[in-house]
Amino acid sequence: MPPQFSQHHSQQPQSSLPAHPEVITRLRRAGCVFAEEEAELIATTARTPDELRSLVERRVAGAPLEHVLGWVRFRDLRLTVEPGVFVPRPRSEFHVEQALALTEPGAVVLDLCCGTGALGAALATERAGVELHAADIDAAGVRCARHNLAPLGGEVYQGDLFTPLPDSLRGRVDVMVANAPYVPTREITLLPSEARDHEPWLSLDGGSDGLDVVRRVAGQARPWLAPGGHLLVQTHPDQVAEALAAFIRGGLDAHAVVDEEDHTSVVVGRRPDPIDPKNTRVGP
């Protein structure tokens, strides 16, 4: 995955360790398209000349920029990300935008397959009074999420999907977001090396058609949702039809929203209110 930059990087303090021209040259030779920007970010992060050299060596060797820096910019947030942890993608901001439209102040939010906790952190930052919970099976991801979500009062649990969640959450979740893995197993080797070689396969591998984990989430979500609560899962546009079917089987009303520009989609499910008709429906 190429390094991600945004307008917010310009807000970082100027480094006391200048990005020497030879650093930029080395990054360019290593194939870094944004060598100047990367050199500035690395120099800003490094505290000593020795650390600067070490960070440059790691980047030249192919480590993702975010793992080298130890942080990633997601929306207006600077989030801790350790080596070996899934790096949240800019296209997931579309996921956040769909969830924000459904998140009221004071809502109970669950970030499932949370990784760094980026989705939950964005929702809790941009909606007042959110009660935030998050879970992931990966120990390193949970460690990052706890660091990132602690200032927001978030609780983070380690385990497989819903297994580690407290029973007190059943029937209370207003908005559940899940950036579950959705890459078909056979396609993982086609991903950029920064993803396939440096991120956990658990965060990428969605099984034969990419939807194994999505189906599990959709099939188990309803008891955790409050009446009228929503589940939002990111998928590839080509997977929308199958994902919608899984949501319907799980007892949720469902529709999908597609971002043509970033070639991503979010499938949205809703637990019907008790007064609603029992039959679920699928929408556009």
126/109 Cα distance (integer angstroms): 12
Domain residue ranges in the chain? 7-69, 92-270
Q: Residue 158 phi/psi, 5° resolution?
A: -110, 130
CATH superfamily of the 92-270 domain: Vaccinia Virus protein VP39 (3.40.50.150)
Report the 10 Å Cβ neighbour count for 155: 17
Amino acid 6: pLDDT: 36
pTM of the entire predicted model? 0.86
Amino acid 10: pLDDT: 35
C-alpha pair distances (Å), 84 with each of 33, 115, 154, 210, 276: 22, 11, 22, 21, 44
Give buried/exposed letters for 184-213 (b at 16+ CB in 10 A, else e).
bbeebeeeeebbbebbbeebbbbbeebbbb
Which residue reads 């997601």 in tokens?
A: 74
**Taking Cα atoms as reference points, which of 73, 76, 1, 3 lies closest to residue 36?**
3
Low-confidence ranges of the chain (pLDDT < 50): 1-16, 278-280, 284
**Taking Cα atoms as reference points, which of 251, 257, 255 lies closest to residue 271?**
251
Amino acid 194: pLDDT: 85
3-state class of 220 per DSSP?
helix
Residue 50's contacts (CB-CB under 8 Å, 6 or more residues apart) are: none
Extended strands (E) in the chain? 71-74, 77-80, 108-112, 131-136, 155-158, 173-178, 225-235, 253-259, 264-270
Query: How does pLDDT run across 81-123, given as a tens digit for each residue?
Result: 999 999 999 999 999 999 999 999 999 999 999 999 999 999 9
